[in-house]
Amino acid sequence: MLEDYIRNKQKEKDILLMAHVVLGYPSIEETFELVRTIVEAGVDLMELQIPFSEPIADGPVILHASQAALAGGVRVDDCFRLARKITDAFDIPFLFMTYYNVVFKRGEERFFAETREAGICGAIVPDIPPEEGESFMAAATANNIDPIFILAPTSSSERISYLARFGRGFFYCVARKGVTGAKTDFSSELDEFLDRCRGATQLPLALGFGVSSKEDVQFLRGKVEIAVVGSQALRLLNTNGTKAVGDFFAKLR
């Protein structure tokens, strides 16, 4: 489902944009308005992050937003309700991003059934490798949710081929070592990694971690189907507010 959407969109645009918001940050109401602004700016897909108290793959920007949302009393139930409201209102694919404990604690079956009911079509859960995720993947696919796996430049080609067997929708390639939000030096080294990913899968590739400017997106044109922008938009939200985020996405490609 996600894959078809991406293929179709590619007929109009040579690179798609995936944005990211933390559900409940700065507040439930403001998240909704932020999503509206970003969708109106023309992004093609969006990650909705359900905050978790121990987000080990995230850098300070998303970490602080997650903490603020939790400190504000946001519950997982609120995230499902907000997701439902968002998918009812806007006509692009939305994915959940969260950590495995949120899924595990709710129960994999229940989590994915509710994810489907909320109109979400994919799930990015960075701390569940396929080795641990047999029932996770089964519950996701039974509910028509694409589990999005992450490919990393540190992984061997054998490992990438192994992961490629489990992906649906697209693969999320991380541009570098480290966590979200740090600077990435976009260079030819990245090409070698992306070539290895292409060699392992027919699915579209998204690239994230450090994508923060029009130049970065330009660099990725023709290399990946989707550029993922997370922390940079959140930084702008924190310093300049919602409208600035809309302007940023509108001029990104």
Partner 1 sequence: MDKTGYYGTFGGAFIPEILSTTLEQLQLGFKEAKEDPAFWSTYQGLMSTYSCRPTPLTHAENLSRHFGGPQIYLKREDLNHTGAHKLNNVMGQGLLVQRMGKTRVIAETGAGQHGVATATMAAKFGYSCTIYMGEVDVARQRPNVFWMEQLGATVVPVRDGARILKDAINEALRDWSTNMDTTHYVLGTACGPHPYPEMVSYFQSIVGTEVREQILRQSGRAPTRVYACVGGGSNALGVFSGFLDDAEVELVGVEAGGEGLETHKHAARLASEHGSVGVAQGYKTYFLQDDDGQMLETHSVAAGLDYIGVSPILSAYHEEGRVRFEAATDEEVLEATRLVMRKEGIIPALESAHALAGAFREAPEMNGDGVVIINLSGRGDKDIFTIADALGDTAWKSFIITKAEEYRA
Nearer to partner 1, 33 or 132 (CB): 132
Q: Cα-Cα-Cα-Cα dihedral of 46, 182, 60, 112, to 10°?
A: 30
Pairing outcome for strands 171-174 and 16-22: unpaired
- CA dist 149 and 130 (Å) reads 8
| Residue ranges that bind partner 1, judged by CB under 8 A | 52-57, 59-60, 63-64, 67, 70, 75-76, 99-102, 104-106, 126-132, 134, 149-152, 154-156, 159, 163, 174, 177-179, 182
Q: How far is the CB of 174 from partner 1 (least distance, A)?
A: 6
Find, among 87, 78, 208, the residue nearest to 153 by Cα.
208
| CB-based contact 174:163 (threshold 8 Å) | no
| Least distance in angstroms from the C-beta of 149 to partner 1 | 8
- To partner 1, the closest distance from the beta carbon of 209 in angstroms equals 9
Residue number with CB closer to partner 1 (91 or 131): 131
Of 26 and 59, nearer to partner 1 (C-beta) is 59
Query: Between 90 and 166, whose beta carbon lies closer to partner 1?
Result: 166
Provide the 10 A C-beta neighbour count for residue 139.
Answer: 22
Half-sphere exposure in the Cβ direction for 166 (13 Å, CA): 23
Q: Shortest Cβ distance from residue 64 to partner 1 (Å)? A: 7
By beta-carbon proximity to partner 1, the closer residue of 5 and 80 is: 80
Residues recognised as catalytic: 47, 58
Question: Please, what is the minimum distance in Å from the beta carbon of residue 155 to partner 1?
Answer: 6
H or E element, residue 163: helix 157-164
Q: How far apart are the first and last CA of the chain?
A: 25
Q: Which amino acid, residue 140?
A: A
93 versus 210: smaller Cβ distance to partner 1: 210
Handedness of CA 111, 174, 183, 178 (dihedral sign): positive
Smallest gap, in angstroms, from Cβ of residue 178 to partner 1? 4
Work out whether strand 146-148 and strand 16-22 pair parallel, antiparallel, or are unpaired: unpaired
User: Strand 205-208 and strand 122-124: pairing?
Assistant: unpaired
- Four-CA torsion 3, 185, 60, 231, nearest 10 degrees: -40
